[in-house]
Structure 1
Amino acid sequence: MTTDRAAAPLDDFDPLDSAAPRDDADPIAHHRDLFVRDASVTAYLDGNSLGRPLMASVDRVTSFLTEEWGGRLIRGWGEGWLELPQRIGDDLGRVALGAAAGQTVIGDSTTVLLYKLVRAAVDARPGRTEIVIDRDNFPTDRYVLEGIAAERGLTLRWIAAGEPTPEALAAVLPPATAVLVLSAVSYRSGFLADVPALTALAHEAGALILWDLCHSVGVVSTELDEWGVDLAVGCTYKYLNGGPGSPAFAYVADRNQRMRQPIQGWLGSATPFEMGQGYEPAEGIRGFTSGTPPIVGMLAMRDMIALIEEVGIDAVRAKSVALTEYAVQLVDELLPSAVLASPRDPRRRGSHVTIDHDGFEAIMPELWRRGVIPDFRRPNGIRLGLSPLSTSFAEVATGVSAIAELLDD
């Protein structure tokens, strides 16, 4: 957490006036017109929880319902539906993960995929008795690991609350570690971890590492193959705009695909349509699938993946940095009694900014009534989740100004 302030407030500072030239100069601003909008929402600042839908996705889903599902019916399974989890996974890997083909697959929730991959990693390190995770990680990650540790008779080793730096990791990474689980971007503070350095530390200790990419995929430049990452999971309804509850993705590096995951469903078998006795896993990434793929749920993300590819992940990241820097400036100017709970250094920050104040919870209903939509994280934090392709600087100014007005700071 950081409380230091930038330069003293500017005289006659007008947030909307300061936003206009930024929006005018934004090289990817025209892409905002591609998203579905509602006039009642004046500032949507929760893209790190649920991204706006693309209009192209409305057309895609409608067409699928009436033509592919409605017209082709069960024939669709043999006409490409069954290949979609790997096809979309390859697209995502190429565009946003730095992953070669055959290592990423779509399907299941983040929770289920996390369980599958951690269990597989534990079994791939026999004789090692500890799992390592940080106390500030997302609750699902912590809860799933608590369950696996109890199930397998392992010790759960905790990194103390705070930013998971190489120094913090080195202090709690014993030789008995089987797998380490960290988030690339912290769900609350927005802290951006040094993925290559932490991955290298895990490997030096002989451990596998799994990265939770939920708050980084689609908005932070990522090179899983180059960085030597073993395993990763992530959701698709934040910056990939797949829609509420859209299926998650799993990345398993080629060298680790002989691992056995524990949920042995029909689709992950070597010969799914033979319906035979006994389970033999499919080779490659399909061996990490289980049940029938959620086809409707994975349609919308295709349009966002295509848009990110068109724009380029580096341009998305540059806009993300500009948005969060602007948000921090506005907080400094308009909310002097709030505490910046995100890193001030943009190199260590994802695409959301968290600010803490004991008065925030009380003003949330009125913010939402006004169409200003951030989210609240206990005990006292508002997160400003800024989606580079759909969020304007004017929305950030409108949102922070409304918070300041209601807080009467």
Structure 2
Amino acid sequence: MSDLAFKAAAAKELDAADELAGLRARFVLDDGVYLDGNSLGALPAAVPDQVADVVRRQWGELRIRSWDESGWWTAPERIGDRIAPLVGAAAGQIVVGDSTSVNVFKALVGAVRIAQDGAGDDAGGRDEILVDATTFPTDGYIARSAARLTGHTLRPVTPGEVPAALSERTAAVLLNHVDYRTGRLHDLPSLTAAVHAAGAVSVWDLCHSAGALPVGLDEHGVDLAVGCTYKYLNGGPGSPAYLYVRKGLQDRFDSPLPGWNSHAEPFGMRAEYEPARGALRGRVGTPDILSMLALEAALEVWDGVPVAAVRAKSLALTDFFLECVDAYVPEGRVESLTPVRHEERGSQVALRCSAIAGDVMKRLIERGIVGDHRRPDVLRFGFTPLYVGFADVERAARVLAEVLAEVA
């Protein structure tokens, strides 16, 4: 039996045994292979009707009454509680709203203020922020601005360098759970423990892990975390992000962006600011209701889905893709940047391509295999276990080999 026939048969068997295969019907998909859910998740089938109801009935008919009658006012914390189990958090610790960038700013400045508050007379000594040197650029930009505004020094280090870089000067540490380029999964439990041992405050960016693997925010004592909802949570383009504030820190969380929505008495219209209790103090202004309620409908696809099963399938999919690439693609044409070890792998595979990577990805997309390209030479493939199957994986690797043969 040829490699092609063997892998195709193996994919068929794996799909037949897949306990999550039925979830694919909860999404709007075409005949192609969509491997870009690490950038933008596919459309959940329940979303269009929900958005139509929000526009036509809730806004069109009920109008302002919908703030109460349709639950608009409580949407940020209600939807936060739906996300909470997906990141290992109890209810009452996540608020949804604003962009990831805005929430990174709130979390990082808030972390610095918590560190200063806890340091007492030694607060002036904690004058440094550590940031993941390999982070998505915006996190770095925000961290630099936060450091400048708070009078702190910003020190970029790789996640592996964090334990040695921590000191009595460290106020806060901003890290990515999964590297957006390579798919490398960083050790959240041990790094969080190291940050706490140094007396600093941890902030985690979960954009590339939430909805793909267990996070364990409460279990591992994470202080603050942020994440987007348009990747593995399938909330739609530009859907609102979220902010997690650990319950034990909520009374000490001093947001740098206080707004009327986070006021203890929002309709009191008082000049003096008094923060609301709990995670609500992470709110700022009027919630973006249309995209927020689209997200709420999108999260229905998670009903009855255990994150552990999603993680198991994610690892099986990425393993199988790497096996197929190894079988189909001639040696030397691509190099995997994604770790082999499961404990170091997120839910994507990044391949360094010896050909012109941008041209290769363009040709793949023309043939229905949708991934993305990161300059200069990386092909990224994201595996969303809720709707990606093993036959999809085999087909993607096979077409990749065909395209590489054309551009040799």
Tell whether 2:198 aligns with 1:200. no
Name 1:53's counterpart in structure 2: 43
Structure 2 residue aligned with 1:400: 397
| 1:30 to partner: Cα distance | 1.2
Query: C-alpha separation between the residues in 2 aligned to 1:301 and 1:349?
Result: 27
Alignment of 1:288-307 (within 5 A): 288-307=282-301
Match of 1:3 in 2: none
Aligned twin of 2:18: 26
> What residue number does 1:390 align with?
387
Aligned counterparts, 1:226-245, within 5 A: 226-245=219-238
Query: How far 1:324 sits from its partner (Å)?
Result: 0.8
Q: Moved runs in structure 1, 4+ residues, more than 6 A?
A: none
2:369 paired with 1:372: yes
* Stretch of structure 1 that moved more, 376-385 or 205-214: 376-385
Check the 8 A contact 1:158/1:172 in 2, yes or no: no
Seq. identity, %: 44
- The superposition leaves residues 43-88 of structure 1 with CA deviations (integer Å, 9 ceiling, x where unpaired) of 1110111110111112211222222122211110122101010011
1:88 corresponds to: 79
Give the structure 2 partner of residue 263 of structure 1: 257
CA contact (8 A) 2:3 2:328 kept: no
Contact 1:225/1:253 (8 A) holds in 2: yes
Deviations, residues 25-47 of structure 1 (Å, cap 9, x unaligned): 111101111210234xx111101
Q: C-alpha separation between the residues in 1 aligned to 2:132 and 2:270?
A: 43
User: Which residue of structure 1 aligns with residue 3 of structure 2?
Assistant: 12
Which residue in 2 is equivalent to 1:62? 52
Code of the residue aligned with 2:78 in structure 1: it is R
What's 1:100 paired with?
90
Which of 350, 354, 367 is 1:354 aligned to?
350
Q: Aligned with 1:171: secondary structure? A: helix
Structure 2 CA distance for aligned equivalents of residues 97 and 283 of structure 1: 22
Shift of residue 304 of structure 1?
4.1
Using structure 1 for the length normalisation, give the TM-score: 0.92
- 1:382 deviates by 0.7
Q: How many residues align?
A: 392
Shift, 1:159, TM fit? 1.3
Q: Any conservation in 1 of the 2:175–2:203 contact (CA below 8 Å)? A: yes
Which residue matches 1:282? 276
Q: Indicate whether 1:273 and 2:263 are aligned.
A: no
Structure 2: distance between partners of 1:185 and 1:209? 15
Could you tell me which runs of 5 or more consecutive residues in structure 2 were left unpaired when the two chains were aligned. Answer: 117-123
Distance 1:321 1:204 in 2: 32
CA distance in 2, matches of 1:369, 1:219: 27
8 A contact 2:44–2:301 mirrored in 1: no
Return the letter of the residue paired with 2:75. L
Structure-2 residue corresponding to 1:328: 322
TM-score w.r.t. the length of structure 2 is 0.93
Deviation at 1:403, TM superposition (A): 1.6
- SS of 2:3's equivalent in the other structure is coil
Residue 124 of structure 1 aligns to a residue in which SS?
A: helix
In the alignment, which residue of structure 1 is the partner of 2:120? none
**1:312 and 2:310 equivalent?**
no
2:242 is aligned to 249
* Cα distance in 2 between the residues matched to 1:308 and 1:286: 24
For the residues of structure 2 that align with 1:220 and 1:397, how far apart are their CA atoms?
22
Give the structure 2 partner of residue 75 of structure 1: 65
Q: Secondary structure at the match of 1:116?
A: helix
What are the Cα deviations for residues 254-295 of structure 1, in whole angstroms up to 9, with x where unaligned? 121122111121111111112121221111111111000111
8 Å CA contact retained: 2:26, 2:301 = no
Change (3 A) 1:12 1:268: closer
2:128 partner letter: E
How far apart are 1:301 and its partner, in Å?
Answer: 2.8
For the aligned residues, what is the CA RMSD? 1.5
| Per-residue Cα deviation, 1:293-323 (whole angstroms, up to 9, x for no partner) | 1111122333443332412111111111111
Could you tell me how far 1:346 is from its partner in structure 2? Answer: 1.7
Report what 2:211 is aligned to. Answer: 218
Check the 8 A contact 1:47/1:387 in 2, yes or no.
yes
